[in-house]
Amino acid sequence: MSNNLDLPEAIDRQDPASEINCRAEAYRNWGRWGQDDRLGTLNFIDDAKRLEAAALVRIGRAISLSQSFDMNGPQKGWRRRTNPVHTMLDTGTDAERGSQGFPHGIGGADDVIAMPLQCSTQWDGLGHIFDRGMAWNGRRAGDVVTSDGDLVTGIEHTANTLVSRGVLLDLGRFLEPDSGELTDGTAITAADLDACAAAQDVSIRRGDIVLVRTGQLSRVRREGWGDYAGGPAPGLSLSCAGWLHRTEIAAVATDTWGFEVRPNEFDVPAFQPLHQVAIPNIGLTIGEMWDLEELSAACLEQDRWEFFLTASTLPITGAVGSPTNPIAVL
């Protein structure tokens, strides 16, 4: 379990291994919820937290925070991540022609979809990322995820957990008020998160699901997908690991492909260092590619940045991630 070290924000850009290791050790939650834990920081959401969230519904407006699931998505095939392929099995044309074999004139349509579970708006499960061969809660990675899937922390265990108080931190509008969009490569710091929350007059509490809007999705919708999937992006700095641990939030999500700033903050090869600290060590569930544009406009109009949020996973046995259609209710 973490020893709650307060590490400096400065990062040695030549030594990613040491920077990752010191934060992993400082903010590690292994054993915090027992040796058999499968939920990590989602344990911070309890019945009282859901009641608190439900009390935030005032005008009843529901806003989907999901991108589309279709072939016009951002994926480019990296590590076999493709856009969804939607195929019709039965159509209205079949019904008109009477070729479906049903009696008394009834016809129907049916379809199938094939897609990676993390091709659009989604959650990273606790079996998605490992740290030096270790998975969440100090388990050996190979004992957790095999060719049969995630045998321990499969996403199905989270199916009824992701209902809580949601908080939107609109870093795009806070740091770049003229455009409302952060430039690619902008590293959001813990100080930025705290200052944004203060400016919006909203608190961050245990068990919250925090949504960070960078504005990148707004820009790529205007200019084209480009390198949205895996390319440069604004996002959280590795130095935010302490903030993610200290605030005791249940989960965090952004409107970018990879949650953390890209390129990552090193002058030597590095890949998603904040993931390496947050998922297997803190036990934090991370959401990516969320559409926060309509919610941002609604929160600005209402001058209210907290809401009831439900963002359930699909209980796909053994999966290490899941699509989601998050709904914020104001």
Nearest to 186 by CA among 240, 249, 116, 265: 265
Q: What is the structure's pLDDT at 38?
A: 98
62 pLDDT exceeds 90? yes
- Percent residues over pLDDT 90 in the chain: 96
Enter the pTM of the model.
0.95
**Digit-coded pLDDT (tens) for 182-195:** 999 999 999 999 99
For residue 108 the two structure tokens come to 């129907």
Q: Does domain 16-78+116-329 match CATH 2.30.30.30?
A: no
- Residue 6's pLDDT band (cuts 50, 70, 90): low
Can you tell me the distance from the alpha carbon of 241 to that of 20, in angstroms, rounded to the nearest whole number? 10
Q: What is the structure's pLDDT at 5?
A: 59
Give the mean model confidence (pLDDT) for residues 272-296: 98
Can you tell me the distance from the alpha carbon of 71 to that of 290, in angstroms, rounded to the nearest whole number? 17
294 pLDDT exceeds 60? yes
Range list for CATH 3.50.30.50 in the chain: 16-78+116-329
Listed in order, strand segments (DSSP E) in the chain are: 62-64, 85-90, 110-114, 122-124, 134-135, 139-140, 145-146, 149-150, 163-170, 187-188, 209-213, 235-236, 251-254, 285-288, 306-310, 321-323, 327-329
Q: What is the structure's pLDDT at 198?
A: 98
272 pLDDT exceeds 70? yes
Q: What is the structure's pLDDT at 9?
A: 77
What is the chain's alpha carbon radius of gyration, rounded to the nearest angstrom? 21
Nearest to 9 by CA among 188, 240, 185, 245: 240
**Digit-coded pLDDT (tens) for 225-234:** 999 999 999 9
3-state secondary structure of 323: strand
**Looking up tokens 């044309």, which residue turns up?**
93
Give the mean model confidence (pLDDT) for residues 106-135: 97
Q: Residue 150 in contact with residue 320, Cβ under 8 Å?
A: yes
Nearest to 31 by CA among 316, 301, 281: 281
Can you tell me the distance from the alpha carbon of 279 to that of 209, in angstroms, rounded to the nearest whole number? 15
Phi-psi group of 24: left, alpha or beta (phi > 0 → left; psi -120 to 50 → alpha; rest → beta): alpha
109 pLDDT exceeds 60? yes
Listed in order, strand segments (DSSP E) in 75-199 are: 85-90, 110-114, 122-124, 134-135, 139-140, 145-146, 149-150, 163-170, 187-188
**Looking up tokens 């919610």, which residue turns up?**
295
Per-residue H/E/C for 56-110: CCCCCCEEECECCCCCCCCCCCHHHCCCCEEEEEECHHHHHHCCCCCCCCCCCCE
10 pLDDT exceeds 90? no
For 267, counting Cβ atoms within 10 Å of its Cβ (0-12 exposed, 13-18 middle, 19+ buried), the class is exposed
Can you tell me the distance from the alpha carbon of 33 to that of 59, in angstroms, rounded to the nearest whole number? 37
Q: Residue 5 in contact with residue 255, Cβ under 8 Å?
A: no
Give the dihedral sign, CA 131/137/141/147. Answer: negative
**Digit-coded pLDDT (tens) for 199-212:** 999 999 999 999 99
2 pLDDT exceeds 50? no
**Digit-coded pLDDT (tens) for 139-163:** 999 999 999 999 999 999 999 999 9
**Digit-coded pLDDT (tens) for 29-56:** 999 999 999 999 999 999 999 999 999 9
Please, which residues have CB within 8 angstroms of residue 263's CB and are 6 or more apart in sequence? 185, 232
Q: Residue 172 in contact with residue 180, Cβ under 8 Å?
A: yes
3-state secondary structure of 13: coil
Question: Average per-residue pLDDT in the chain?
Answer: 96
Q: What is the structure's pLDDT at 146?
A: 98
Q: What is the structure's pLDDT at 1?
A: 47
Tell me the residue type at 293. Answer: E
4 pLDDT exceeds 80? no
